[in-house]
Amino acid sequence: MSENEPLCARCAKRGKTCCQWSEIYITQGDVNRIVLMTGQSGFYEYRTAQNPQYLDQADDPPWQKHVFRSDGARRVLKRGPGGDCIFLGQKGCVLPLDCRPLVCRLYPFTYHYEGIHEELETGCPRELVESGDMLLKELDMNPEQARKWHQTLYAEICCHNDYDRPDI
Ligand code: SF4
Ligand code: SF4
């Protein structure tokens, strides 16, 4: 295993990655960008969360109010039979960064409607990086950029909620 390989490639050699076990909520803005970029449709569906605790987002009112339909389902990317995201290719995500779902772009940041938190998600393999402080650097993630994506995510969650439309 080469130390010079990107962390996500080393992570994939070690076992399942976030693209293989995550449920990816997508905004209507994400849908529009992906359709524009790929010409595809039918890449998402409405599913309830595997973990019922996920339905309780009391600390994040916009998420609680706008992400879920009245039946508790939300718009997520489809996954293959083994659980892989539909956009996971041999060399990682096939979507260019600027049309990747905002939730994906923000991983492993943790956040709620008011902003990004200090602590990171625990899914990335810390044992493959020199220290926890190096994780974002190894992932080539920029907190300033992440803050902008976070703002876009919540703007789209709040403003493009069209679950009430009869055709979706
Ligand atoms: S973001 Fe983290 S969990 Fe996902 S592939 Fe990269 S290192 Fe692995
Ligand atoms: S859209 Fe790309 S980054 Fe997001 S889960 Fe799917 S493969 Fe991974």
Per residue in 57-79, pLDDT tens?
A: 889 999 999 999 999 999 999 99
pLDDT at 159: 82
pLDDT at 9: 94
Residue 2 falls within a domain, yes or no? Answer: no
Residue 139 falls within a domain, yes or no? Answer: yes
Phi, psi of 22 (to 5 degrees): -90, 150
Q: 């803050």: which residue's tokens?
A: 147
Answer whether residue 164 shows pLDDT above 50: no
Which pTM does this prediction carry?
A: 0.92
24 CB near ligand 2 (under 6 Å): yes
* CA pseudo-torsion sign 56, 20, 74, 98: positive
pLDDT at 2: 53
pLDDT per residue as tens digits for the range 119-163: 999 999 999 998 878 999 999 999 999 999 999 999 999 986 555
Residue 32 falls within a domain, yes or no? Answer: yes
Among all bound ligands, the one having the nearest atom to the CA of 109 is 1
Atom of ligand 1 nearest to the CA of 7: 7
Expressed in angstroms and rounded, the spacing between residue 16 Cα and the centre of ligand 2 is 13
pLDDT at 67: 95
* CA pseudo-torsion sign 6, 31, 168, 106: positive
pLDDT at 163: 56
Residue 153 falls within a domain, yes or no? Answer: yes
103 CB near ligand 2 (under 6 Å): no
Please state the domain count of the chain.
1
Residue 113 falls within a domain, yes or no? Answer: yes
Domain extent at residue 92? 7-159
Residue 166 falls within a domain, yes or no? Answer: no
93 CB near ligand 2 (under 6 Å): yes
